[in-house]
Amino acid sequence: MELTNIYDTFTLNNGVKVPCVAFGTYKAAEGDNVEILRQAVACGYRYFDTASFYGTETFLGQAVKESGIPREEFFITSKMWKDEMGYEATKEAFAKSLERLGMDYLDLYLIHWPQPSPGCEDWKTVDAETWRALEELYEEGKVRAIGLSNFLPHHIENLMKNCHVRPMVDQIEFHPGHTQETVLSYCREHDILVQAWSPVGRGRVLADELITELAAKYGVSPAQVCLRYALQRGVVPLPKSSSEERMRQNRDLFSFEISGEDMYRIGAMPPVGWSGEHPERERVRL
């Protein structure tokens, strides 16, 4: 499938089409939240990723409303946090997200993490009850697609054994130097679209000698190399930025193609840029 701009789409396993590049709102708009999001809309972004934990839902809803662009031209994703899991709590969390966004439906709703806390013994039951709530929201037409975030294959398997509606998306940390191939392979096998949070892996990846070499070779920024790599792996990148120049750069991923050899070189990079987050362990401070 050839992608030519950020409005081209991947198709989920329920037929819903998802734009191939999103604007991530986590810590992207610290300070004047609304203005940054207005700027992103003006730069052409229509797919926005938020979450109750981010604290950006209200600002995103305001930016969308003020744009004057019809709601149906946007694709909006949100997620419930670890302390909002469980059947009833999920329903409440979803309603609160809609209220903060000022919207009457979501395009995609995700379980943010598979465990309320590391070592949670009854996570399988909690996940199953949470997913049951998402299935009902989906079947009621309140959300167009449902999925997961930071779920590893054994977490997904737990849901697949009991679900009526299969997960459509799994958001994971994915960038050169940390590609989580086991998760990627599992999701492809089960027709679950992978999306990449932290797709440029912070400064350590951007300064990596291979990434900087390839940026010079293709005449683009190191961030563009990382984002293009995700697209060529069939992964939706969720870049974030508070700079208009970088917003535009992150959108311009279609004027070059990374060669097959260079894709292999990126895939074989040594580990670099991991956030320190893991769904079953305490956060590692790097």
**Mean of pLDDT values over 152-174:** 97
At 100-150, the pLDDT tens digits run 999 999 999 999 999 999 989 999 999 999 999 999 999 999 999 999 999
Q: Given this model, what pLDDT does residue 108 score?
A: 98
Q: Given this model, what pLDDT does residue 285 score?
A: 86
Q: Given this model, what pLDDT does residue 27 score?
A: 75
Q: Residue 1's pLDDT band (boundaries 50, 70, 90)?
A: low
Which percentage of the chain shows pLDDT scores above 70?
Answer: 98
Q: Is 109 a catalytic residue?
A: no
Which percentage of the chain shows pLDDT scores above 90?
Answer: 92
29, pLDDT greater than 60 = no
What is the Cα–Cα distance from 108 to 142, expressed in whole angstroms?
10
31, pLDDT greater than 70 = no
The residue that leads in pLDDT, 254 or 118, is: 254
What is the Cα–Cα distance from 164 to 144, expressed in whole angstroms?
15
What is the Cα–Cα distance from 12 to 14, expressed in whole angstroms?
5
Q: Given this model, what pLDDT does residue 162 score?
A: 85
Active-site residue identified among 45, 47, 54, 186? 54
160, pLDDT greater than 80 = yes
Q: Residue 33's pLDDT band (boundaries 50, 70, 90)?
A: confident
What is the Cα–Cα distance from 228 to 145, expressed in whole angstroms?
25
Range name among 19-28, 38-47, 151-160 with the lowest pLDDT average: 19-28
Q: Which residues, including other chains, have CB under 8 Å from residue 60's CB and lie 6 or more apart?
A: 25, 37, 48, 50, 76, 101
Residue appearing with tokens 């086991």: 182
Measuring CA to CA, which residue among 192, 191, 171, 169 is closest to residue 180?
171
Q: Given this model, what pLDDT does residue 286 score?
A: 78
Is the Cβ–Cβ distance between 229 and 258 less than 8 Å? yes
Per the DSSP assignment, residues forming a β-bridge with 49 are: 24, 77
Beta strands in 30-93 (DSSP E): 47-49, 75-80
Q: Which residues, including other chains, have CB under 8 Å from residue 49's CB and lie 6 or more apart?
A: 22, 23, 24, 25, 26, 77, 171, 195, 197, 238
